[in-house]
Amino acid sequence: MRYLIRAEIDADILCRLLNQFALQGHVPAEVESSRREDWLDIALRVNTLPRYRAEVIAQRMRGMVSVCSVDLHVQGSEAVLSAT
């Protein structure tokens, strides 16, 4: 699973996003973040996450105040589950 997230600049946004995985006992295999003006573009890859659980985490991220959008890419599939 690969998450592409756009969020407002917030000092603790990375911690809050990563906490969603920690609560489920998962550790992302890859985390990349880059600042573009007033936004953070964040890419997270998690190898050991069932699709249903990945979708639940994406929904929780979308509910965060400073998160603008979350796209969930399912590896081995053309599916992209996105919402703003």
Domain of 49, CATH number, reads 3.30.70.260
What's the pTM value of the predicted model, to 2 decimals?
0.86
Backbone CA torsion sign across 44, 1, 67, 80: positive
* Model confidence pLDDT, tens digit, residues 6-58: 999 999 999 999 999 999 999 999 999 999 999 999 999 999 889 999 999 99
Domain count, the chain: 1
Q: According to the model, what pLDDT value does residue 57 have?
A: 95
Across 1-7, average pLDDT: 96
Tell me the residue type at 55: E
Q: Which residue has the higher pLDDT, 51 or 79?
A: 51
Q: Under 8 Å CB-to-CB from 49, ≥6 apart: which residues? A: 1, 21, 24, 26, 57
In which domain, by residue range, is 22 found?
2-83
Q: According to the model, what pLDDT value does residue 48 have?
A: 84
Q: What is the C-alpha separation between 76 and 84, in angstroms, rounded? A: 24
Residue 35 backbone dihedrals phi, psi, to 5 degrees: -95, 130
